[in-house]
Amino acid sequence: MLGATVDDQTRCIHYRSQLDVIAIRFACCREYYPCHLCHAESAGHEARVWPASERDALAVLCGVCQTELSIADYLGVDACPSCAAPFNPGCSLHAYLYFAPD
């Protein structure tokens, strides 16, 4: 995991509430970062969003249990299907930064 994490559940200096427990594998570099700001600050390149045609890609990491979710699975749930850790509903406001719309 790259970026400015503050704990082992993928929270970072930008997003660190109890619900901020996912990391995104960025389409441009295939590396996990806790958020778009962490990527912007440390990747050294511009972010690229996942195209809608790649919704089956494993690109979301649950920081609680370390389960990787496909983009489609992540976008369809509000908690980890493996450990039931709730995800931050506010993340949907940033989805366009990571995933192209259908």
The pLDDT profile of the chain, 102 residues, written as one tens digit per residue, is 899 999 999 999 999 999 999 999 999 999 999 999 999 999 999 999 999 999 999 999 999 999 999 999 999 999 999 999 999 999 889 999 999 998
Give the C-alpha distances (Å, rounded to integers) separating 13 from 54, 82, 85.
Answer: 29, 26, 20
State residue 41's pLDDT score: 96
What was the pLDDT predicted at 5? 92
DSSP string, 77-97: -SB-TTT-PBPPGGGGGGGGG
Residue 48's φ and ψ, nearest 5 degrees, are: -125, 135
Full-model pTM: 0.94
